[in-house]
Amino acid sequence: MGRAAGYDITISFVAPTFDRRRMEQVIHHHFGAEDVNITIEPHREAAAAGDRRPPTWEPKPGTGAAELLSLVREKGVLRSREFKHIANARAALELLLMDGHIEKVRHGVYKVGGLDVAVEEKIGRSHPLGPRQQQLIDALATPHTATELRELAGVSRQAIDQLLKKLMKEGRVRRVPTATETSDWLYVQSGQRDIDAIAARTPSLTRMEGVMLNLLPPAGGVRGTALNAQLGPGYRVVLQRLAVKGLVEEIGTPKRRVVRLTRKGLQHPAYEHDREHLDAIDETAAFKPAYIKLMLALDALGEARALDLTDVSGLKPKRRCGTGQHLQRLRVSGYIEQSKVKGRAPRYRLTKQGLAAISSAKAKGRSISARAAQRRLSDAREARALVQSRKQTRTSSSALRNSRTPELLSIVSREPGLRAPEIHDRLSRPYADVRSVYVALTEFERRGLVARTQLGQRAPVRWSITAIGSAMLAEIMAAPGAPARD
């Protein structure tokens, strides 16, 4: 296989996989081979069986590979730092791994090949924990800061740092960054997720955080102005820290905010239930009455457009702030969301946060039943259709009574094919601008009273009356008090 120091060395072994390049590097760099010739031949038994065969050779006694193999067999599980003293340890490790004498469990940990052993148990027996280390491991079932662990163990700051570093190096403990804790790090057991660790922790509080926590009532909430009167303008910073720790939350839209305790904050050991708190206000005070009505209407309908919500809620939107603006503010605050429905008018629905926000209003009997909502919606649509029809009737009647309307139709009926300037010249009372004639004729065209003709792309537009226009002109002229037809 190789030539080193004037000797020819041949090694043969069976392996399920083989890295030729890696093997050449091992023999060349670690054994000083000048000429390496590797021949790969499939082993008959291994090819027939299709699985891993036991090693076919044993290291020569007195070599580093033999010493390393005996050490692994003695302990069952071995760490890489335990065989650094062996000569040519890296090359011996590569050879033993390739032939299957040992197997890699994880980074820096190896075991006897083909042997099932409890790795964690072996590691624990090879490096038993001291009483203080075991005390820290048991305490970290709940995350703690280094200061809390130092007070718990009763040791100095330097000693607790050394203990934690050793446990982290062995992979038993890890640390999690924190946002607003008194310390920058929380120490947890290795098998615990970050989110579970932070959720399970009872966070420590500073003096100002404890004062603010005890100002909040157990039920309901308070406004920021009340906290500002007690703590000053710096209350916002303290409030953000308590919110990150999950002890308080803010509800409402940006202009109306109410601060209230969470369940975690209510159960915190620093919260004193018997002391005097600020006066509680209803959580619905975080919303304008219009917002509550819209959310209750949306709860009854399930999913609706802005126009339908206006009809069901009974709102009369002002010119400065309509239903659409209310809905957009609720959407930005996370209480409603737009559903993915094709169409011009978007449809809205409540989120979980929105359902929780109107729970107190529904408990007071302010909810709208689905049947009542559908009835209001149906009545509003009928009323809107009636108003629209009346509006169209009034528009038609006013157009009929307008003296210029019959005159325009008369001119177009008498002389079809006229252009707008020509029609303007024939009016008894001309408009101030010729464009007004064109606008009037365009509106007549939309109603089907007149039609335009254009012989070419750049030819002038000419107008002629339709059958509907002729019928309407006859009706106008037959009505009493109609203008005289020229």
Q: Are residues 350 and 451 in the same domain?
A: no
Alpha carbons 72 and 109: distance in angstroms, whole number: 10
Tokens 């590797």, residue located? 38
**Claim to verify: residue 117 and residue 6 sit in the same structural domain:** yes
Phi, psi of 259, rounded to the nearest 5 degrees: -100, 135
Could you report the per-residue pLDDT of 371-402, keeping only the tens digit for each? 888 888 888 888 777 777 666 555 554 555 55
Could you tell me if 108 and 21 lie in one domain? yes
Say yes or no: 253 and 306 in one domain. no
**Dist. CA 85–CA 94, nearest whole Å:** 16
Note whether residue 453 is domain-resident: yes
Q: Are residues 359 and 446 in the same domain?
A: no
Question: Does residue 171 sit in the same domain as residue 149?
Answer: yes
Judge if 112 and 24 occupy the same domain: yes
For the purposes of burial, counting CB atoms within 10 Å of the CB of 80, is it exposed (0-12), middle (13-18) or buried (19 or more)? Answer: middle
How far apart, in whole angstroms, are the C-alpha atoms of residue 47 and residue 35?
29
Q: Are residues 296 and 352 in the same domain?
A: yes
Distance between CA atoms of 182 and 156, rounded to whole angstroms?
18
Within this chain, do residues 281 and 324 fall inside the same structural domain, yes or no? no
The pTM (predicted TM-score) of the whole model is 0.44
So what's the pLDDT on residue 190?
77
pLDDT digits (tens, 9 = 90+) for 16-37: 566 777 777 777 777 777 777 7
Q: How many domains does the chain have?
A: 5
Average pLDDT over residues 252-281: 86
Enclosing domain of residue 324: 287-378
Q: Which of 181, 200, 219 is the last residue of a domain?
A: 200
Q: Does a structural domain hold residue 395?
A: no
Last residue of a domain, one of 318, 343, 378: 378
Residues 361 and 445 in one domain: no
User: Residue 128 — pLDDT band, cuts 50, 70, 90?
Assistant: low
Do 135 and 217 belong to one domain? no
Q: Is the pLDDT of residue 6 over 60?
A: no
CATH code for the domain of 293: 1.10.10.10
